[in-house]
Structure 1
Amino acid sequence: MTDTSKVIEGRTGPWEIVLGLEVHAQVASRAKLFSGAAVGFGAGPNEQVSLVDAAMPGMLPVINRHCVEQAVRTGLGLKAQIHAWSRFDRKNYFYPDLPQGYQISQFAHPIVGEGEILVERDDGSTFTVRIERLHLEQDAGKSIHDQDPDWTYVDLNRAGTALMEIVSRPDMRSSEEAAAYVKKLRTILRYLGTCDGDMEKGNLRADVNVSVCRPGAYEKYRESGSFSHLGTRCEIKNVNSYRFIQQAIEYEARRQIEILEDGGSIVQETRLFDPTKGETRSMRSKEEAHDYRYFPDPDLLPLELEQSWIEGIKAGLPELPDAKKARLQSEYGLSAYDAGVLVTESVRADFFEKAARGRDAKLTANWITNGLLAKLSEGGHDIDDSPIKPEAIAGLVKLIEEGVVSSKIARTVFEHMWAGEGDPAAIVEKHGLVQVSDTGALEAAIDKLIAANPDKAAAVKDKPQAIGWFVGQVMRETGGKANPGVVNDLLKAKLGIA
């Protein structure tokens, strides 16, 4: 394994970060995990609460088959082991927004076992994050503290919402790797359709486990599998953006290093990240598993899945990001970078493939990644909000291929397309943007230019690169409409450059 850990220099020597994440992904489902109550964002307080969610006496949970299918689908997408037999447990703790006094989760027997994700760093290199498990559980409600200083309000709309908790091994060594892992996981979930990945709404959030150790300790852990080689970890709860994940890790690592270098020890605890202050703060001491008094939920039978049902789900999986990226590179000749940008969202890749039919694929990809996506990102949008459709991009590329417009004129055409003027060919005709390739007209302009600048013309023979000045002058004279290739050829012939 290549060592890509981030070394932090402390007062007493170098330190390294070790990171593992527990990602909570809200299952894409219209109903909750154990009740028929609706799931949706924006409802008024306690408008989406059934008697089961509110823990009314005598109300029994009933498993949502669709949520089970979504968990299996996700496990298959993570190349993970699917357990044909799994069980729900009660995780007991008291909190005002947990009306049952326990959370129905999976502890000893999760529905999905070990898997792995291949993640790409910013420099194009890759690393593998091992998945330890994926289990289903119900979400708690929400306590609201900021409406009245004397009261805490409880909204149970989220209570009972189905979550997939995806637990990684501590295989990440920097804040950048942790953010890259969550991005890749989000992409896979969205491809699968099992979670919408909306971090702003809390539909995807991460608990980040951070510890620090001296160089070499992590390698000993990988060799032996013993966590004793690693430092004491702290868990930062419910971080819901890539930027906050990185900030929380950087702060927490520094905090732990300072404590250790001052002779102290790290207390295993749960912490919160304050994005305003950019720091973590203590929430509670970390409870070990036995403190939750897990035991099998007596109201729910174990889940027993037929292998044929699992195989049916597997057969219906879509083309996933890694496979799609490899295909775009081999089938369309795209670079790893362009293919990677396009497969980040399935709608981007679909847009590209529609636009590239019968056209120059590399040129099409360039107009999408460097033109359209760049324009969309300025307003915080992605390609599904684009006012320009794939057919329009294809039309623009066709005009370039046929020499109707130059690359420079194409940028002007693109701006008109962005403004909603429609078909690129119609825009070219309306605004008189056709590229000038008529050699007669161009020759006249070039002859006039050479006659007016005999010294420069003579100098070009000794310094051929100086021809660029003449090309620029012709382009200016023609309002940028001259065909650069034709201009270059004519100038070389008239100036006697081979």
Structure 2
Amino acid sequence: MGVVAADGVLDYETALADYEPVMGLETHVELNTATKMFCGCPTGFGAEPNSQVCPVCLALPGALPVVNAEAIASTIKIGLALNCSIASWCRFARKNYFYPDMPKNYQISQYDEPLCSDGYLDVEVETPDGETTVVRVGIERVHMEEDTGKTTHIGETGRIHGADYSTVDYNRAGVPLIEIVTKPIENTDALAPAVARAYVRELREVVRSLGVSDARMEEGSMRCDVNLSLMPRGATEWGTRSETKNVNSMRSVERAVRYEIQRHGAVLSAGASVVQETRHFQEGSGSTVSGRSKEEAQDYRYFPDPDLVPVAPPADWVAQLGAALPELPAARRRRIQRDWDLSDEELRDLMNAGAIEVVAATVEAGAPSDEARKWWLNELSRRATETNVALDALPITAAQVARIVALVAEGTLTNKLARQVVDGVLAGEGDPDTVVETRGLRVMNDDSALGDAVDAAIAANPDAADKVRGGKVAAAGALVGAVMKATKGQADANRARELILERLSG
């Protein structure tokens, strides 16, 4: 029996020595359709509370829902990209329980007749020895439903317990929501947290490549529920599962799986039973806390929605949607690796930084691949980390980065000046050329002006000048530095060095 830590968890390696994890992931993706799932209200993010509502999504008496055809098409695209079978006939059901943020007090969803089923998604996972292994994650179903509104609890805790009062914004109520449910994921052992993270990352890339959602976890347009159980080594019956709800980042998905393995291990090693319940992930500590007991399907009292006709997508329409699918992320990565001559490690760096798409777009805008990678993985990745935003959410476009690369290549900017141009673009001062002009950042190409700066540097640094005259060419570096300082980095350092050596060579 392993030692249980003070925080109530078992050492990770000890838990895995005694128990085998089984997990399932339920991922919710908000579609980017212009209107809601069952009405014509707009779906834009960030509008004034309760400004995007109507009698249908407010469930006023007599209002009837109508299915959004574009949402059905988007769901079929997701199903096809995940290698699912597409149903020739399916229907919506009502899922009943107390929803304070759903005016109908039930959710229109799909129960036993999903639109897409029985698919898979292959994900690449790095093993502890640095190798890459491919794990096939089975997809149980992809079904359509509607999102709930947003409840905000006002008070010190931010939770309903202890709140002074609560507000409800129904703008999100009725937004098309796709739930993607995996089959039980077994035999991953110590890689289980990494597999969970890799799956969510790959799923996000698939969804984005289809253009059906921005899948921004930080904004809630993609979120994941983590189901996990442990069973003793050698057993054949799965253990009791917990469900950690609404985890909103890939890193947090990984941490939630790891923590639940340790927590379940501690409970089981103490001879107790795991409680089937929903739990909430705590970003600060990486732990989970108990929410409520988990309902079974029968507790929701599903029944077919009498206000909606069944959905029967024609086979030829499904075939047309399939034929129009874009290049999917895995195939795109293989092509990019070949075209850019990347090692596996370099490709992993791009993936881990979430930079493949922005780098690819920068290359398409005209930048060499190595320069595009350098700017996004170094300078811009640092800015994203400092401001705590996703790399592709920085206020600079791939075309603007490509233009900065071009300005350096043509000699208009040095790398140092180019970083100042990045500052200006990120600050909203305009495109790169505008920033160059307004900030006066162009490289000094006038030999006359540069010669004056060189002469001033020589006069101000006689010791360094004497060393250069005496044959110590390395001492020219101090003089070049003085020129660069005097010209605020706008001098061409190589040309400045040439002029210094010319003036001091005899």
Provide the TM-score with structure 2 as the length reference.
0.73
Counterpart Cα distance in 2 of 1:416 and 1:177: 40
Counterpart Cα distance in 1 of 2:421 and 2:206: 35
Aligned pair 1:297/2:305, yes or no? yes
Structure-1 residue corresponding to 2:80: 76
How many residue pairs are counted as aligned between the two chains? 463
Structure-2 residue corresponding to 1:220: none
Counterpart Cα distance in 2 of 1:98 and 1:318: 35
Contact 2:464 2:476 in 1 (8 A): no
Structure-1 residue corresponding to 2:205: 187
Structure 2 counterpart of 1:198, from 198, 216, 226: 216
Structure-1 residue corresponding to 2:171: 157
Q: Secondary structure at the match of 1:72?
A: helix
Structure 2 counterpart of 1:351, from 356, 362, 378: 362
Counterpart Cα distance in 2 of 1:388 and 1:256: 45
Contact 1:7 1:17 in 2 (8 A): no
Structure-1 residue corresponding to 2:134: 127
Contact 1:236 1:280 in 2 (8 A): yes
Q: Compared with structure 1, are the counterparts of its residues 275 and 454 closer, same or farther at alpha carbon in structure 2 (3 Å cutoff)?
A: closer
Provide the TM-score with structure 1 as the length reference.
0.74
Structure 1 counterpart of 2:65, from 61, 67, 85: 61
Counterpart Cα distance in 2 of 1:83 and 1:289: 22
Q: Secondary structure at the match of 1:48?
A: coil
User: Shift in Å at residue 293 of structure 1?
Assistant: 2.6
Contact 2:252 2:283 in 1 (8 A): yes
Q: Compared with structure 1, are the counterparts of its residues 125 and 55 closer, same or farther at alpha carbon in structure 2 (3 Å cutoff)?
A: same
User: Shift in Å at residue 165 of structure 1?
Assistant: 0.5
Q: How does 1:350-369 map to 2 (within 5 A)?
A: 350-356=361-367, 360-369=368-377
Q: Secondary structure at the match of 1:259?
A: helix
Q: Compared with structure 1, are the counterparts of its residues 436 and 320 closer, same or farther at alpha carbon in structure 2 (3 Å cutoff)?
A: farther
- Counterpart AA for 1:165: E
Counterpart Cα distance in 1 of 2:355 and 2:260: 29
- Counterpart AA for 2:132: S
Greater shift in the superposed pair: 289-298 or 397-406: 397-406
- Counterpart AA for 2:266: E
Contact 1:436 1:483 in 2 (8 A): no
Counterpart Cα distance in 2 of 1:377 and 1:150: 35
Q: Compared with structure 1, are the counterparts of its residues 407 and 14 closer, same or farther at alpha carbon in structure 2 (3 Å cutoff)?
A: farther
Q: Compared with structure 1, are the counterparts of its residues 76 and 152 closer, same or farther at alpha carbon in structure 2 (3 Å cutoff)?
A: same
Q: Secondary structure at the match of 1:229?
A: coil
* Unaligned stretches of 5+ residues in structure 2: 1-9, 156-161, 452-457, 502-506
1:365-387 Cα offsets, whole Å, 9 max, x none, are: 32332233433443334566666
Q: Compared with structure 1, are the counterparts of its residues 80 and 455 closer, same or farther at alpha carbon in structure 2 (3 Å cutoff)?
A: farther
Contact 1:87 1:109 in 2 (8 A): yes
Structure-2 residue corresponding to 1:464: none
* Unaligned stretches of 5+ residues in structure 1: 1-5, 218-227, 458-466, 492-498
Q: How does 1:52-451 map to 2 (within 5 A)?
A: 52-121=56-125, 125-128=132-135, 129-146=137-154, 149=163, 154-171=168-185, 173-215=191-233, 228-275=236-283, 278-334=286-342, 335-337=346-348, 340=351, 344=355, 346-356=357-367, 360-381=368-389, 393-394=401-402, 397=405, 422-423=432-433, 433=443
Contact 1:396 1:424 in 2 (8 A): no
Q: Compared with structure 1, are the counterparts of its residues 384 and 60 closer, same or farther at alpha carbon in structure 2 (3 Å cutoff)?
A: same
Aligned pair 1:18/2:22, yes or no? yes
Contact 1:321 1:343 in 2 (8 A): no
Q: Secondary structure at the match of 2:326?
A: coil
- Counterpart AA for 2:261: A
Q: Compared with structure 1, are the counterparts of its residues 412 and 262 closer, same or farther at alpha carbon in structure 2 (3 Å cutoff)?
A: same
Aligned pair 1:51/2:55, yes or no? yes
User: Shift in Å at residue 29 of structure 1?
Assistant: 1.8
- Counterpart AA for 2:280: L
Counterpart Cα distance in 2 of 1:482 and 1:142: 56
Structure-1 residue corresponding to 2:4: none
User: Shift in Å at residue 192 of structure 1?
Assistant: 1.6
Q: Compared with structure 1, are the counterparts of its residues 307 and 415 closer, same or farther at alpha carbon in structure 2 (3 Å cutoff)?
A: same
User: Shift in Å at residue 94 of structure 1?
Assistant: 3.3
Q: Secondary structure at the match of 2:375?
A: helix
1:262-308 Cα offsets, whole Å, 9 max, x none, are: 11111222223344565433333222222323222232222111112
Q: Compared with structure 1, are the counterparts of its residues 347 and 108 closer, same or farther at alpha carbon in structure 2 (3 Å cutoff)?
A: same
Q: Compared with structure 1, are the counterparts of its residues 329 and 305 closer, same or farther at alpha carbon in structure 2 (3 Å cutoff)?
A: same
User: Shift in Å at residue 392 of structure 1?
Assistant: 5.9
Give the CA RMSD over aligned residues: 4.6
Q: What is the percent sequence identity of the aligned residues?
A: 39
Counterpart Cα distance in 1 of 2:146 and 2:207: 18
Structure-2 residue corresponding to 1:3: none
- Counterpart AA for 2:97: Y
Counterpart Cα distance in 1 of 2:106 and 2:276: 23
